[in-house]
Amino acid sequence: MSETKELDYPRYAHVEGHTDVCYSEDGRYLITCGQDGDIRIWDGIEDGDPIEKCVGSEAFAVHQSGDMLYVGDDHHTLQVYTFPKAELIDTLTRFTASVCCLDSSKDGKLIAAGGCDSSIQVVNKDTKSVLNFNGHKCPILSIKFDALAEFLVSSSCDGTVKIWSIEKKSVVKEWTSVIPVSNAFQHSKIKCTPAWDPIDGNLLAIPFGKEIKLFQRGLWRELYTLHDYRLSEQEITVMSWSKCGRYIAAGTNTGFILVWNVSSQVIVLYAECKERYSIRSLVWCPKNGEHTLAYCDDHGQLGLVENARSDDFNIDTTNDKENILMTDEESSDNVISLEQIKHDAEVELNKQRGISLNNVDGLEIDDDNSNLSSKYIPPTAGFTVDLQSPFQPCSTPVHLQRRFMVFNDVGYARQTNTADENVIDVDFHDNTVHHAFRIKNVLGHTIAAMCQEALVLGCDTQDNTPSKLVCVLLNSWDGKREWTVDLPDDDDICGLAVTADWIAVASVSRLLRLFTLGGGQREIISIPGPIVAIHGSRDRLVVVHHCGAPIPGEQNLRYCVYKIDSRVEAVCSGYVPLFPKSTLRWVGFSDYGSLCILDSAGTLRMLIKSYWSPLCYVDNTWNDTTNHYFVIGVSEARQDIRCILCKGSYYPSTTPHPFLNEIPWQIPLCDLNQEKGELEEKFWRSNLALSILPEEDGLQYDKELKTTFLKLFAMACKSGHDMRALDLCKLIRSEQYLNLALKYTMRVGNSSLATKITTIIENEAKVDDEPKPVTYSELFDGPSTSYNKNTNYTSEQSQDLFSEKYSPNDKEDNNKEVVESSSILTVIKKKQEFELMNESNDIDRAFNPFKKKTSGQANISIGTLSPFDQTNEPSSDNKRKSDLNDSSEDINSTNKSKKPKGVSKLSSFIFKK
């Protein structure tokens, strides 16, 4: 066990604040940058006159490669300087915020830069081509290429570490909650600098708080952990892997530096900086055989740790480039190997368990040829599942100093949590309804929900103070404008929802508590899983929760919608569909009460009856991939999405005041850049709106649907796709537009398609003429149980006994007749008699105009069937129909538009003058 080594006092390098340091490739120079905006090139730690260059107001990162020096500063640019003269020669790329971390590939061709705008860019310095990697939600803390330049690892202020495939530009692995979340690069106390094995990249080391975990490349599973008991009260801020691959060094937030031997997992150095400031950067000297560390603290001081592996008694210095993953059998037999003892004990234990180290998870390991020792493969397979944390819809992250606790259609609650003030400002979009006001956030509220009637706030448990629910009534009539409820001990609020009648509170104990608006307690509902989000609107409440263990990298979420009025009733439930490797970003109800969700990939979906339908790829509506939309609401009547444009971020900033945007729906069908795909998208978007909207609100979409149908039908006919045209006719239910489609086919002379459309029209007519089942309420309670006795007998034959068209006089007669009826069977018998009369007088049956002539039919040709021939004489059947109408003038005078029962819609269209 190494003893604590005291280091010499560091020297002044820059002003207090974040300071970065790197070595030149030959190990001669040290390059530093700091918050004073200067870069300094030191020829050794004792250099009294370093080369200085002012690059801006602040400099965040420096990196030297070849004869170039790369600098990230507050000018939002990646600048290139000559080395060692530090003369500006080029600007490699630009960001929308400061550039805060840099790295280069092993061959120096690729330069990676991370910005405070949460984006990463990889630039080819020869071709100047740029690859963009977007996925983090906060400023980037560090980036690092692997030895083969196939992967890139990054850490961010959002607490995540991601591995990117450079070729595919996608995330292949992600770890969440690695470090505490922060809102700015300078405010992050833990920089978290993951590093690859510099020899072949087979291992990846990531600092996790008080320990360093090493993962196997490709499988990304944890192999072992580097830790020390002296880290129990410290946090690892930065780490660095030596160029020889034998050692890993780490700096802590209390000014200590630790060095591990990677193969033996033993501490070989434990050093203490005398001033005990937090270590901000740490780097190994690249010279062969020189194990020296350079570091900078958060007070701008530069120091060295010489002979950083002096306590390592088990080192073979003759071959520094030997692979660290060698087996113990390859090491010297005269050396006491701690790992050999551990390995033998592990093998014996695994034999007792019946586990073979040579076949773990189906991986065959050859002891003689594999360079991966069996001691690095865990005996059992285990997957770490990162469950999504609970969040409040329409709110921004809690770690931000200035954030929106809620931003919806009513207004917003803006929280300011700085050293000077901690307040909540509440404002409304319509100031004529409510006035803005301010609340001192004494209790430390972090979650809120708001409607026209109330504002509810929630805070977590703090010391001995339980989690509290505070309700501020906006329309109170009894003088009580506020009430408070304490939650039970060890239970915190994780979600809030409020409507005009009730308040819902979700807690980490998986309970959903309901309150009246006045503060009375209602039902308590148990939720079968950790709650992710809740949202309420009118009498509906949706709860999204985890449902079982998901597969690695995915989320297994389930929703449940409750109807809450005088009682609680579960309306529907099911699984939440998400884009692969994504999380839930927003959940809520539309203007007409349809459930909608948005995932982190930007896909907005709506629940249509019993299935989910994607409405739009929200983030794709803007050309810049770094910009995102913060969704507020969804409207079916306007077919748009109310949202806020967030440039370079997922969340809107509080200043300046955000503007509301409305982006249209665009159902993600195929070939949207072609006319056919565009018309089909418009057709189904209108169809979707008609399935949700009431009849009076969907008139414009009904017209749009039929117009689009005719365009698609004509396009299919012109291109010769008769089957596609017929399929469209099966999808439309309008008899008027089916007749227009038939008219078009006859005009272009497509008789085969016209025949099939005629069959569809006749089938629709038969469906409309089929009698509906008679119910008890229709017989005795409805107004359609009788007929008009004031008309003549012919009128009685042509009028349906159960028709809903009646006059006030009919209703009186109906009531009398129903009272006189002795039983239901009498009325049903009368109904059957009138149906027989109608069948006997059904003189104008539908027929197929393309059917061959028989002896019992009139001589009809295709010419006489043309709808454009206005000189055709009526057929014999129509003549008989006209004679009948002459004898029933009274009927036609009262009901001219009504056709006799059984008359085909097709025949009325063809023979209409």
pLDDT tens figures, 739-798: 888 888 888 888 888 888 888 888 877 665 555 554 434 433 444 333 333 333 333 333
pLDDT at 728: 86
* Six-digit token string for 755: 């025949």
Q: Quick: pLDDT tens for 266-317.
A: 889 999 988 889 999 999 999 887 889 999 999 999 999 988 876 554 444 3
Query: How confident is the model over 383-410, as a mean pLDDT?
Result: 86
CA distances from 341 to 223, 327, 328, 338, 375 (A): 18, 13, 10, 5, 11
> Does the pLDDT at position 678 exceed 80?
yes
Burial zone of 58 (CB within 10 Å; 0-12 exposed, 13-18 middle, 19+ buried): buried
Q: 3-state class of 562 per DSSP?
A: strand
CA distances from 444 to 423, 464, 597 (A): 9, 14, 29
The per-residue b/e assignment along 386-403, b for 16 or more CB within 10 angstroms, e otherwise, is: bbbebbbbbbbebbbeeb
Q: Quick: pLDDT tens for 161-207.
A: 999 999 888 899 999 889 988 888 888 889 999 999 988 888 999 99
Q: Is the peptide bond before 84 cis (omega within 30 degrees of 0)?
A: yes
Instruction: Give the neighbor-by-neighbor strand order of the sheet with 521-526.
Output: 493-498, 502-507, 511-516, 521-526
pLDDT band at 682 (very low <50, low <70, confident <90, very high): confident
Contact (CB, 8 A) for 388 and 382: no
In sequence order, the 6+-apart residues with CB closer than 8 A to the CB of 595 are 542, 559, 561, 587, 588, 589, 606, 607
pLDDT at 632: 93
pLDDT band at 80 (very low <50, low <70, confident <90, very high): very high
Range of 180-184, 475-479, 593-597 with top mean pLDDT: 593-597
> Does the pLDDT at position 882 exceed 50?
no
Burial zone of 622 (CB within 10 Å; 0-12 exposed, 13-18 middle, 19+ buried): middle
Q: Quick: pLDDT tens for 14-52.
A: 999 999 999 999 999 999 999 999 999 999 888 888 999
pLDDT at 865: 36
Query: How confident is the model over 853-857, as a mean pLDDT?
Result: 43
pLDDT at 384: 55
Closest to 630 in 3D by CA, of 655, 652, 606: 652
Which residue did the predictor score with more confidence, 92 or 347? 92
Q: Rounded to two decimals, what is the model's pTM? A: 0.52
Range of 205-214, 344-353, 688-697, 701-710 with top mean pLDDT: 205-214
> Does the pLDDT at position 858 exceed 80?
no
pLDDT at 415: 93
Q: Which helix (H) or strand (E) holds 698?
A: none
Quote the mean pLDDT of the chain. Answer: 78
pLDDT at 735: 78
How many other C-beta atoms can be found within 10 angstroms of the C-beta atom of residue 232?
A: 8
pLDDT at 322: 40
Query: How confident is the model over 894-903, as a mean pLDDT?
Result: 40
Which residue did the predictor score with more confidence, 252 or 870? 252
pLDDT at 477: 84
Q: Which range (322-326, 427-431, 494-498, 693-697) has the least confidence?
A: 322-326
DSSP classification of residue 101: E
- State the Cα torsion 48-49-51-52 to the nearest 10°: 90
Query: How confident is the model over 820-848, as a mean pLDDT?
Result: 48
pLDDT at 385: 65
pLDDT at 339: 53
pLDDT at 340: 56
| Exposure on the CB side of residue 147, measured as CA atoms within 13 A | 14
Which residues pair with residue 144 across a beta bridge?
153
pLDDT at 766: 67
Distance between CA atoms of residues 444 and 447, nearest Å: 9
Closest to 665 in 3D by CA, of 623, 630, 621, 711: 621
Range of 476-480, 523-527, 579-583, 635-639 with top mean pLDDT: 523-527
pLDDT at 175: 92
pLDDT at 343: 55
pLDDT band at 344 (very low <50, low <70, confident <90, very high): low
pLDDT band at 606 (very low <50, low <70, confident <90, very high): very high
Instruction: Give the neighbor-by-neighbor strand order of the sheet with 557-564.
Output: 531-537, 540-546, 557-564, 568-575
> Does the pLDDT at position 593 exceed 60?
yes
pLDDT at 418: 85
Distance between CA atoms of residues 828 and 822, nearest Å: 12
Distance between CA atoms of residues 18 and 7, nearest Å: 21
Contact (CB, 8 A) for 377 and 600: no
How many other C-beta atoms can be found within 10 angstroms of the C-beta atom of residue 551?
A: 9
Distance between CA atoms of residues 753 and 722, nearest Å: 7
Contact (CB, 8 A) for 270 and 2: yes
Distance between CA atoms of residues 264 and 344, nearest Å: 15
> Does the pLDDT at position 671 exceed 80?
yes
Contact (CB, 8 A) for 629 and 616: no
Q: Is the peptide bond before 378 cis (omega within 30 degrees of 0)?
A: no
Length of the chain: 913
Q: How open is the CA angle 143-42-248, to the nearest 5 degrees?
A: 40
> Does the pLDDT at position 70 exceed 60?
yes
Which residue did the predictor score with more confidence, 173 or 379? 173
CA-based max dimension of the chain = 124
Query: Percentage of the chain with pLDDT > 70?
Result: 75
Closest to 164 in 3D by CA, of 116, 221, 122, 206: 122
> Does the pLDDT at position 508 exceed 60?
yes
